[in-house]
Structure 1
């Protein structure tokens, strides 16, 4: 940043930096997906990733585990199903409920996406050394968990098995 640029007070606030880092993150994610010939959003990747860890969960549980509202996630699952990556199956325990599973194609696509998404994490935090990255991630996790109950969309914090 130029030293002669005058920042407004809001540009020194946590919310400003969080919003900017989110914009940077989404932009880098989109660029890397395009460069790799993939058509995925961060939430689609999160859904695939979580379903690979916990196959058979319902849509409401998935929404909580990746902190997205149910309506938005419904559209995400619809698109993943249309791409042949996710399967909805009637629950054996509750015939009204549907369980979500990755298809074999979904597993293959996720295996290709994981290295791309892992690499782009470095680009998101460019300019920080490894120690600083660890500190930032630890502090963001702490702040996120502390504010979880204030969010309209709460993160279910149980660990994936």
Structure 2
């Protein structure tokens, strides 16, 4: 049976994706990551590396598993991220005094300095993402996104890495 051709399928203004929230959420994530990389290019840090460093700063001596849960990445993926930060001398893994199998994470002095330099650029990246919205709507947008994430959090718990 021959499929019907539809001019609507070829028209991006009326395509099925036009009405799909997931398409726009994924696209906004791509844009946000690209803007972050643009604003922070001189530092060579990815958005997830930034998130790991900020979480390690805010929670000194955090274990790797808890950090992975906090940044919503699976433990094997976060291990690679931490490996790269450790090789750069930005984060240090220490054995837990109570359980030698557990690794506690600490930002190094170099990591602290880099983060201090990086934060203003990360803020500019966030502002660039939100800039098209009128100022009063920016906070409302973030509140709505957080509401959606919180409401659906359990769904994403089983697959914390991004699907390809």
**Higher Cα radius of gyration:** 2
- Indicate whether 1:124 and 2:129 are aligned: yes
Structure 2, unmatched stretches of 5+, are 1-10
2:31 paired residue number: 24
Task: Compute the displacement of 1:44 (Å).
Answer: 0.1
Distance, in Å, in 1 between the alignment partners of 2:116 and 2:122 is 11
Return structure 1 stretches of 4+ with deviation > 6 angstroms. Answer: none
Using structure 2 for the length normalisation, give the TM-score: 0.86
Q: CA deviation at 1:31?
A: 1.3
What's the counterpart of residue 158 of structure 1?
none
1:137 aligns with 2:158: no
Is 1:67–1:153's contact at 8 Å kept on the other side of the alignment?
no
Residue 92 of structure 1 is aligned with which of 90, 94, 97? 97
1:54 aligns with 2:44: no
Offset of residue 93 of structure 1: 1.5
> Could you say which residue in structure 2 is the equivalent of 1:81?
86
Report the TM-score when normalising by structure 1: 0.88
Q: How many residues are aligned here?
A: 149
1:109 aligns with 2:123: no
1:39-81 C-alpha deviation (Å, 9 max, x unpaired):
1100000000000000101111000001011111000000000
